[in-house]
Chain A
Amino acid sequence: MAVLHSVHEHDLPYARRERVNRWGLWLFLISESFMFAGLLAARFYLWGGTRPPLDQTLGLLLTSILLVSSFFMNRAEVAIAHDDRPEFLRSAMLTVVLGTAFLVGVVGWEWGLFLPDGPHLRPTDGAFGAVVYGLTGFHAFHVLTGVLAILAVWHLGRRGHFSARQHWGVEAVAVYWHFVDLVWVFFYPALYLIGQVVAAGH
C-alpha cells in the first residue's frame, strides 16, 4: 500500500518523504518476492522435471503483452517527469488496456472460462492443476491490483495531479508494475518451458 503515498503526508519535506517512500516500496517488493519464490519452489518441488501440456501460443502471447505493457508504463513515467501530461495519460491507459488483455487471456483461455467445453486442465487435476492455477492465480491477482493502481494515478493525473517535480505516485505504480512483470518472466518458463511434457492418456 506504500504505492500511493501522497505529496504532503506527514511533516517531512518532499525530497525526504520521497526517499522514505522509496524505502517502503522496495521493502514491500522484497517481501512479495519471497511469496513468489515460495510458489516457484512449490512448482519445482511438485513437478520436478515434468510439466503438463499447456497452450504454447497463448503462453507466448501473454508474455509478449505483458512485456510490451511495461514499455508503455515506463513511457508514462518518463512523460510525467517531463510534464507531458497528455502523453502520460495515453501511455498509462495503454498499459491498463494491455494489462486487462493479459488478465482476460489468463482467465478466459488458460482457465477456460470462455471456452465452450471448459479447460483441458482443471484445478483439481493433481499437482499439475494445482500449480498452474495457483501460480497464474496469485500472479493475476497482482496484475489486477496493478491495473487498478494505474487507473488510480491515471484518474488523478487527469485531474491535474502530479508534475515533473512531484510524481511519487506514478513512480511507485510504475515500479510495482515492472515488478509484477518481472515475476511473470520467471513464471512463464517455469510453467510453459522447463521440463518434459507428460503425454496425456497414461
Chain B
Amino acid sequence: MRHVLTTGLVRGLVGQAVGFALGVYTARAWGATDWRADGPLAWAAVLSVLGFMLASGMVSDWLGWLAGNFAPPRHGAPPGKPRWWRYWSVDYDHKVIGIQYGVTALVLVGLAGSVALIFRSELSKPGIDFLEPAVFNTLIGWHGIVMIAGILTGVAAMANYLVPLMVGARDMAFPRLNAFAYWINVPGVVLVVLALFLRWETGWTGYPPLGVQTMPGAIPFYLGVFVIGFSSILGAVNILATAFGMRAQGMTLFRMPIFVWSMVATSIIALTATQLIGLSFVLVVLERVFGMTFFSPTLTESAQALGSPPGQPLLFQHLFWFYSHPAVYVFILPGLGIISELLPVFARKPLFGYKWVAMASLAIALVGFLVWGHHMFTSGMSDIMRVTMMWTTLLVAVPTGVKFFNWLGTMWGGKLTFPTPMLFVLGALSIFLIGGLSGPPNGTVSTDLFLHDTYWIVGHFHATMFGGFVYPYIAAIYYWYPKVTGRMYNETLGKIHFWLMTPAFWTMSLGQMLAGLWGMRRRIVDYDPALGVAGLQTAVTIAAHVIFLSMLIFAFNLVWSAFRGKVAAANPWRSRSPEFQVPSPVPDENYPAPVVVVSEPYEYGGPEPYVVFAHGPAAADD
C-alpha cells in the first residue's frame, strides 16, 4: 500500500485533482458562480494538467537543472521498490515506457470499445430505446477520440520499444522527454473522461459553430486532445532524433530495419501536422472563453462598427483536416511497417524491394499533406479545391499499391508458416484491402456527394484502421511478446482470437458499408425502418460484440501467459533483427557491447548475420 501511494500515477492524479480544485476555488474567488462555465472550466483544466506534471515527478529532473543538478537520468530498477513499481512511475528506460504506452493503449481501446457496444446496441433496431440523443452523441464522439488516443499510444508503444533496439542504441535520444511525452497523456485522458460526464455533441471532429455552442464537456474535450497531441509532437521529435542521431555503427539509412523507416515517415507527419489540430482546438476554446470569433459567422455591433469581417466555420475544417487526414497515416504507417517487418521472417525470404517500401512510406506521408480537402467536398469549398484534392487523393493510391505488391512479392515462393502473428499480418492485408478499395469512391467528388456522412464512410475507416493499425498492432504484440516478457503467449488462444475476430470484423465492416449505401446516415441515434437496414444493423451489433469478446480472450492470454506461459527462447522466430540476438526479456542495458551492422537486414538464407556485437572500444564515430 505504501508503495502504491508513491507511484507516479497515484501522485500525479492527486496533483491533478488538487490543481483542478485550485482552479475552481480561484475562479469562485474571482466571482465565477458556476465552475462549469467555459472560463472557470478551462482555467481549472489547465491547472489540473500542471498539477499532474508537478506531482507525478515527470518534470523533477528539469526543475533540478535550475538548481544546478545535472545528474544523468536514472537508469535501471529504482532501489528499495518492488519490481512492478517502475511501471507505474516515471522511468526513463525506453522499454519500460514502451510497455507503459502499450498497456495504456489496450486500456483505452478497451474503454472506447465498451462504449461502442452501448451505442451499437441502441442502433440494433430503429427507434430510440435507451439512449437520449445528447448522450448518444457524446458517446460516439468519445468512442472516436478515445480510440484515436488508443491508436496514438499504441503507435508510440511500438516506436518506443522497438526503435532504439532496432537502431542498436541504449535508449531514445532524449529519455526524459520520452517519459514526459508518455505521462502527459494521462492528465489528457483524464480531461477527456471528464468530457464524457459533462457531455458535448460534436463528435470527434469538434466542428464549430456547434463546438462553440454545445455543452461544457467541449472544454475538457478540446484541451484533453490538445495535451495528447502535444505528446505526439514530443514523441516524434524523439523518434526522429533517435533514428538520425543514434544509429549503430555501419547502419546506413538503407540498412535500417524497415519499421524504423515507417516510424520516420510517421514522425514527420506527427511532428508537423499535429500542431494544426492543436491550434484549431485551442482557437475554439479561445472563442468559447473570450468570445474571439474565429469561426462563428456572427458579428457583434462594435465589430460591425469597426468594419471587421466575421469568423468562418470553414477555416476550422481546413486547419482540422490538415492534421486529421495525415493523422490517418500516423495510424497506419507504423502498422504497414510491422507488416513489412514480419512478412520476411515468416516467409524466410528477403523483403521484396526494400528501398521501394521505404520510399513509399515517405511518399504516402508527403502526398498525405495535400489531400485534406477530400473531407470537405460537401462543405461549400471552391470547385478548384475540390478537383485538385480529388486528384491528389487518388494519387495516394500509387505508393500504397507499391507496398501491396512488395508484400505479395515477399510472400511469393516463400516457405510460409502461420503462427498467430502471421495470421494477424495476413488478416491485416485482407482487411486493409477492402478499406483501401473503399477509399477512392470517397475521394471522387461525384460519388462522395452521395457517400459523405453515411455509414459507408464508417465502414471505410473502420476497415482501414483495423487493417492498418489494429491487426498489425495485435500481430506485433504476439510477435514481440516473448521478447518483452520472456514468456510465450498461448498459441491456441491466439488462434481462437484470430478466427473469432476476423469473420466478425468482415461482417461488421461490410455491413456498415452496405447500410450506408442503402441510405443509413452516420452520427444519428434513430433511423427510418423503411430504409430496410435494421437487419444489417443487428448483424453489425452482434459482430461488434464478437470482436469485443475476442479481444477479451486476447487480454486474458496476455495476462495469463505473463505468469504461466512457457519460458521463451532468445529468438523464437529465427529473426535477424538485433533485439532477437540478446536474451528474452531484453536486458536492462539492451546490448552487451556496441552493435555493428555487417550486412543487410532481411537477407534470410544469406551467410552473414545482420549485426554483431563489437567487444572492443566504443563505436568509432565518437
Chain A residues within CB distance 8 Å of chain B: 1-2, 4-11, 13, 15-16, 19-20, 23-24, 27-28, 30-32, 34-35, 38-39, 41-42, 45-48, 50, 52, 121-131, 133-134, 137, 152, 155-156, 159, 161, 198-202
- Alpha-carbon distance A100/B299, docked complex (angstroms): 34
**Pairwise interchain contact A126-B300, C-beta atoms closer than 8 A:** yes
A interface SS class: helix
Report the separation of the CA atoms of residues A5 and B68 in the bound assembly, to the nearest whole angstrom: 12
Residues of B within 8 A of A7 (CB): 70
Task: Digitize B279-309: 1 where CB-to-A-CB distance is under 8 Å, 0 elsewhere.
Answer: 1100100110011111000011011111111
| Residue pair B72, A20 in contact (C-beta under 8 Å) | no
Stretch from B115-123, B232-240, B602-610 at the A interface: B232-240
Known: A19-B245, A42-B319. A52 touches B275 (CB 8 A): no
Q: For B292, list chain A residues within 8 Å (CB).
A: 123-124, 129-130, 133-134
In the complex, are the beta carbons of B279 and A39 less than 8 A apart? yes
Across the A-B interface, give the 7 residue pairs with the lowest CB-CB distance, nearest first. Answer: A126-B308, A126-B303, A128-B308, A198-B307, A130-B292, A35-B275, A20-B245
**Complex interface residues of chain B between 311 and 336 (CB less than 8 A to chain A):** 311-312, 315, 318-319, 322
Q: Are A201 and B305 interface neighbours, CB within 8 A?
A: yes
Question: Is A46's CB under 8 angstroms from B312's CB?
Answer: yes
Contact A9 B73 (CB under 8 A): yes
**Which residues on B are within 8 Å of A, measured CB to CB?**
62, 65-66, 68, 70-73, 170-171, 173-177, 180, 233-234, 236-238, 240-241, 244-246, 271-276, 278-280, 283, 286-287, 290-294, 299-300, 302-312, 315, 318-319, 322, 621-622
Q: For the complex, what is the distance from the CA of A23 to the CA of B309, rounded to whole Å? A: 41
Question: In the complex the two chains form, is A199's CB within 8 Å of B307's CB?
Answer: yes
Please, which residue of chain B has its CB at the minimum distance from the CB of A39? B279
> Is the beta-carbon distance between A200 and B294 smaller than 8 angstroms?
no
Contact with A127, one of B73, B174, B293, B302 (Cβ below 8 angstroms): B293
Q: In chain B, what residue has the closest Cβ to A160?
A: B68
* Residue in B175, B234, B306 whose beta carbon sits within 8 Å of that of A198 in the complex: B306
In the assembly, what is the distance between CA of A4 and CA of B68, in Å? 11
Residues from chain A with Cβ under 8 Å of B233 in the complex: 28, 31
| Cα(A200)–Cα(B307), bound, Å | 6
B291: chain A residues within 8 A (beta carbon)? 123-124
Partner of A31, one of B272, B306, B307: B272
Q: Is the CB of B294 within 8 A of A42?
A: yes
> Can you report 11 residue pairs joining A to B where beta carbons are below 8 Å apart?
A9-B70, A10-B72, A15-B622, A23-B241, A24-B241, A35-B276, A38-B280, A123-B291, A126-B310, A129-B293, A156-B66
**Chain A residues within an 8 Å CB radius of B311:** 46, 126-127, 130
Residues of chain B within 8 A (CB-CB) of A5 are 174
Give the residues in chain B near A134, CB-CB below 8 Å. Answer: 283, 286, 292, 294
Chain A residues within 8 Å of B65, by CB: 4, 6, 152, 156
Bound Cα distance A34, B237 (Å): 14
Contact at A46–B307, with CB atoms within 8 Å? no
- State whether A48 touches B309 (Cβ < 8 A): yes
Chain A residues, CB < 8 A from B276: 34-35, 38
Contact A24-B237, Cβ < 8 Å, known A34-B275, A45-B318, A127-B293: yes
Q: What would 12 more interface pairs be, CB under 8 Å, given A24-B177, A46-B315?
A: A1-B177, A1-B180, A4-B65, A9-B72, A16-B245, A30-B272, A35-B278, A125-B300, A152-B65, A156-B65, A156-B66, A200-B306
Contact at B306–A27, with CB atoms within 8 Å?
A: no
Most B CB atoms within 10 A — which of A46, A130, A200?
A130
Quick check: B294 and A46 within 8 Å, CB to CB? yes
Q: Report the nearest A residue to B283, measured CB to CB.
A: A134
Query: For the complex, what is the distance from the CA of A198 to the CA of B318, rounded to whole Å?
Result: 26
- Please, which residues of chain B bring their CB within 8 A of the CB of A47? 309
Distance, CA A38 to CA B238, complexed state (A): 23
